[in-house]
């Protein structure tokens, strides 16, 4: 997969050199390039923003640097990327959408700052460049700009590219796969006495006995039960959505 990111803060994307994503890039599973929007300005101050027509608070990103940056990106490979625009007003970015995007050959991200990018840039990307433009949101809160959202989305997408995560089984038993949250996990020791001991209570913490039983059926049943209980407690909306899809509307009554 190829991913291009356009931003006024290229350093904000530095973590994409690390860990899973860094390894995927070195293994040529992911071809990622970060582009500085200011390189596509022509004035002495490398201006990328201006005041909004109609008035109001804040600044808006000017269309011309964006058009030049996106045109440059479009020339970097054959075909056309899908342009994802991080914004609180976008469509929800979900695990299901991440799975769909992981199949793409080429994605581009346009990181807005301030109050956003001049809306005509999206019309230009669609009409002049022939790109599909998709505003995407991580959730119902406001970030200072698209960069942190791009870090999250690139990680969510890249780990679904075949070969990026070593053990592909670990992809199927996690939160949001199968519509339930993940079960709790434990490692050695089976009985843990925290060091130094807490003043209040010198208690030992035990791993649930079922996980030590060696009974694979009992372990699978316990984990499924834990997933259900967690989902009821933390994300009842997920169960209600699943119940609606499957016609089990009485689920919450039982
Ligand atoms: Cl994807 N971008 C920005 N800038 N803010 C957000 C967001 C994305 N998702 C929630 N808030």
Each residue's pLDDT tens digit, 97-144: 999 999 999 999 999 987 999 999 999 999 999 999 999 999 999 999
Residue 138 Cβ < 6 Å to ligand 1: yes
What CATH number did the domain enclosing 154 receive?
3.40.1280.10
Nearest-CA residue for ligand 1 atom 6 is 88
| Among candidate residues 110, 142, 168, the one where a domain is terminated | 168
Range of weakest confidence among 61-65, 131-135, 188-192, 249-253: 249-253
160 closest CA partner among 86, 104, 93, 106: 104
The reply to whether 30 and 139 lie within a common domain is yes
The reply to whether 16 and 93 lie within a common domain is yes
The reply to whether 154 and 194 lie within a common domain is no
| Among candidate residues 168, 186, 202, the one where a domain is terminated | 168
Give, as one character, the DSSP assignment of residue 35.
E
What CATH number did the domain enclosing 240 receive?
1.10.1270.20
138 is in an annotated binding site: yes
pLDDT band at 2 (very low <50, low <70, confident <90, very high): very high
Are β-strands 132-137 and 82-92 bridged in parallel, bridged antiparallel, or unpaired?
parallel
154 is in an annotated binding site: no
141 is in an annotated binding site: yes
Tell me whether residue 4 is exposed, middle or buried, using C-beta atoms within 10 angstroms of its C-beta: 0 to 12, 13 to 18, 19 or more.
buried
The reply to whether 113 and 193 lie within a common domain is no
| Residue 201, pLDDT score | 72
The reply to whether 119 and 14 lie within a common domain is yes
| Residue 178, pLDDT score | 84
The reply to whether 163 and 182 lie within a common domain is no
Mean pLDDT, range 82-87, rounded to an integer: 98
- Considering the chain, what is the average pLDDT of its residues? 94
| Residue 250, pLDDT score | 56
Per the confidence metrics, is the pTM higher than 0.90?
yes
84 alpha carbon – ligand 1 mean position (Å) = 12
Give, as one character, the DSSP assignment of residue 100.
H
The reply to whether 144 and 222 lie within a common domain is no
| Among candidate residues 119, 138, 168, the one where a domain is terminated | 168
Residue 116 Cβ < 6 Å to ligand 1: no
What total number of domains does the chain contain? 2
Which ligand 1 atom sits closest to the C-alpha of 136?
Answer: 1
The reply to whether 70 and 182 lie within a common domain is no
Residue 149 Cβ < 6 Å to ligand 1: yes
Mean pLDDT, range 10-39, rounded to an integer: 97
The reply to whether 140 and 114 lie within a common domain is yes
| Residue 253, pLDDT score | 45
| Residue 46, pLDDT score | 98
Nearest-CA residue for ligand 1 atom 5 is 143
148 is in an annotated binding site: no
pLDDT band at 249 (very low <50, low <70, confident <90, very high): low
pLDDT band at 167 (very low <50, low <70, confident <90, very high): confident
| Residue 252, pLDDT score | 46
- For a substitution probing ligand 1, which of 5, 83, 90 has the most ligand atoms within 8 Å of its CB? 90
The reply to whether 148 and 212 lie within a common domain is no
Place of tokens 């909004």: 52
83 closest CA partner among 127, 143, 18: 127
Each residue of 185-234: pLDDT tens digit?
999 999 999 999 887 777 899 999 999 999 999 999 999 999 999 999 99
157 alpha carbon – ligand 1 mean position (Å) = 16
Whether the predicted pLDDT of 39 surpasses 80: yes
The reply to whether 126 and 6 lie within a common domain is yes
Structural domain harbouring 195: 177-253
142 is in an annotated binding site: yes
Task: State whether residue 166 is helix, strand or coil.
Answer: coil
Distance from first CA to last CA of the chain, Å, rounded? 45
């Amino acid at each position: 997969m190829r991913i291009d990111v356009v931003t006024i803060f290229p350093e904000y994307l530095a973590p994409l050199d690390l860990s899973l994503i860094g390894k995927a890039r070195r293994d040529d599973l992911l071809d990622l390039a970060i582009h500085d929007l200011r390189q596509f300005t022509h004035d002495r101050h490398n201006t990328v923003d201006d005041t909004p027509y109609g008035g109001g608070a804040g600044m808006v990103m000017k269309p011309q640097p964006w058009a030049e940056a996106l045109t440059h990106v479009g020339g970097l490979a054959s075909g056309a990327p899908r342009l994802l625009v991080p914004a609180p007003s976008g469509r929800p970015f979900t695990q299901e959408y991440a799975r769909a995007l992981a199949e793409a050959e080429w994605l581009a991200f346009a990181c807005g700052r301030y109050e956003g990018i001049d809306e005509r840039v999206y019309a230009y990307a669609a009409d002049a460049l022939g790109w599909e433009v998709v505003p995407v949101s991580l959730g119902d809160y406001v970030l200072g700009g698209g960069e942190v959202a791009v870090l999250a989305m690139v990680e969510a997408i890249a780990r679904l590219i075949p070969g990026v995560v070593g053990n592909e089984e670990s992809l199927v038993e996690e939160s949001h796969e199968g519509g339930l949250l993940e079960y709790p996990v434990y490692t050695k020791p089976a009985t843990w006495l925290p060091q130094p001991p807490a003043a209040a209570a010198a208690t030992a913490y035990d791993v649930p006995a079922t996980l030590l039983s060696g009974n694979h059926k009992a372990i699978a049943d316990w984990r499924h039960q834990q997933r259900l209980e967690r989902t009821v407690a933390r994300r009842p909306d997920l169960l209600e959505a699943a119940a609606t899809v499957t016609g089990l509307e009485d689920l919450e009554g039982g």
